[in-house]
Amino acid sequence: MADKEMLLGLSLSEAYGLHPGAWRVAAREAYTDVDVFVQAAERAEQGGMDFLFVPDRVFLHEDLMYGPPFFTMDPLMVLSAVAYTTDRIGLVTSASTSFHEPYTIARQFRALDVMSHGRAGWNAIPSYEPEAFANHGMPVPPREKKYERLHEAIQITQALWGSWRREAGQPDKTSGRFADMHHIRPINLQGNQVGSRGPLQIPPSEQGQPVIFMPFAGGASLDAAARYADGVVAMPRTPDEGRQQVELMRSLVEQAGRAADDVKVFPFMQFSLGVTERDAIEHRMVLDRAAGIDDLVLQLAAVLGITIDDVDTPLSDAQIAALTPHPRSPRATRIIELATQGLTPREILAWGVISRGGFDSANPGMIGSPEQAADMIEEWMHAGAGDGLTVVLSDVQHDLPLFVEHVVPILRQRGLRPEGYLGSTLRDHLGLKEQLGLAPRISSQDNA
């Protein structure tokens, strides 16, 4: 990545942000207001970002007493609204192969692809959560069955996308022929778990068919990604770990009979921004006050081995002398460094040194100025830790304008990003060839 431009996506599970206090400081209610989501997508497109990545979860995980669901109401519905207000940015969301039939996946994502003029992407995932299976009235299947269905579903979905060929032509009012049915044919595929007759009743988009994303995970998931994915989202914690994941992915892709560059890898990276580093910390404290920090103070005290009675007063010399950092805390050194600089416990927590758990704990990230954010991104790209990254924001309504208006221009000045879009489809953005139907190397090996 050191000598070429990087790719850039924005993770937007909902329009508040990752920090649990973001919804309380938002100017507008964002969970059910699709306009807020649409405006965030438009802002990301103004910054030339390549795609929106909208994850999904099909069960209620959060305690709604303290905040909204982490995932949007229905990502395909929301992205359909986004498709009509944007022109270039890619639209990627998840659909589980565990619950959806291939025909449904093929139809819905092809419809989004046509509506957006070739900007749709499918994050193809199997589910594992018992709550999700319970919502669909199903038992959790054995792992081997789950991945058998994943392979069948992807292959049949792609075959359905190829069931209406470009050779079917365009509607011709003069001759009265709408389409040539010789090029719209059933697929008649049946696996052990799913199947479809076809054909699909929607023609190809400008990019042929949607781009397939998959997560970087272990074992069977990685093997599937190597065979089918065009983009892979990953969660390395360090640039070195990211580079190792990229190298492993490249190796598996080549073993699957593909060129190493056929798959683009996107690590997640979280940002809390301010015009200056101090501004970023001040805003984090606003978010922390909104969310409450009592539980974090207790964790901080446990890491330091002291009692904290006042969160707005720096630690005393006696407290600093008594520090006994927890031996299993990877962040203890950084916390002690901040404490010895005279910061209050509230300010120390604003640096994000105590994780609130969940997705937040899995992301590398930084709290600081746009220049500092660009420095971190450049470090990761020069380390070969990805073909780009998927940006996660602590407070979308606060951080996204700063990222678009300040971080992106710095990346462009450094030669890491183009000045504008170089094409109109998601495949154009990712540098991928058109594909229509199941890849020949797959269909010649083992159809579903």
For the stretch 97-111, pLDDT in tens is 999 999 999 999 999
Give the whole-angstrom CA distance, residue 339 versus residue 355: 17
Residue 371 neighbours by CB distance under 10 Å: 12
Determine the residue type at 150. L
* Higher-pLDDT residue of 1, 143: 143
3-state secondary structure 169-215: CCCECCCCECCCHHHECCCCEECCCCEECCCCCCCCECCECCEEEEE
Dist CA 179 CA 281 (whole Å): 60
CA distance 68 to 306: 34
User: How many CA atoms, within 13 angstroms, populate the side-chain half-sphere of residue 93?
Assistant: 27
Instruction: Find the mean pLDDT for residues 127-150.
Output: 94
- What's at 397, amino acid-wise? Q
Average model confidence (pLDDT) for the chain? 92
For the chain, what percent of residues have pLDDT higher than 70? 96
- Based on the number of CB atoms within 10 Å of its own CB, is 175 exposed (0-12), middle (13-18) or buried (19 or more)? exposed
Query: CA distances (Å), 38 to each of 59, 391, 421, 428, in order?
Result: 24, 17, 19, 22
- Mean pLDDT score, 217-232: 94
pLDDT of residue 327: 77
Using CB atoms within 10 Å of the CB of residue 72, give its burial: 0 to 12 exposed, 13 to 18 middle, 19+ buried.
buried
Dihedral sign for Cα atoms in the order 178, 182, 183, 186: positive
Least Cα distance to 239 among 370, 366, 384, 352 occurs for 384
Which of these, 297, 403, 298, 418, lies nearest to 350 by C-alpha position? 297
Q: Is the pLDDT of residue 358 over 60?
A: no
pLDDT tens-digit readout, 236-295 = 999 999 999 999 999 999 999 999 999 999 999 999 999 999 999 999 999 999 999 998
Amino acid at 426: L
**Which position has the higher pLDDT, 292 or 444?**
292
Confidence category of residue 363, pLDDT binned at 50, 70, 90: low
This prediction's pTM: 0.93
Q: Tell whether the model's pLDDT for residue 406 goes beyond 80.
A: yes
Q: What is the mean pLDDT of residues 371-387?
A: 97
pLDDT for the residue 93: 97
User: Residue 87 to residues 11, 191, 446: CA-CA distances in angstroms?
Assistant: 18, 38, 38
362 — pLDDT class (breaks 50, 70, 90): very low
In single-letter form, the type of residue at position 32 comes to: T
Give percent above pLDDT 90 in the chain.
80
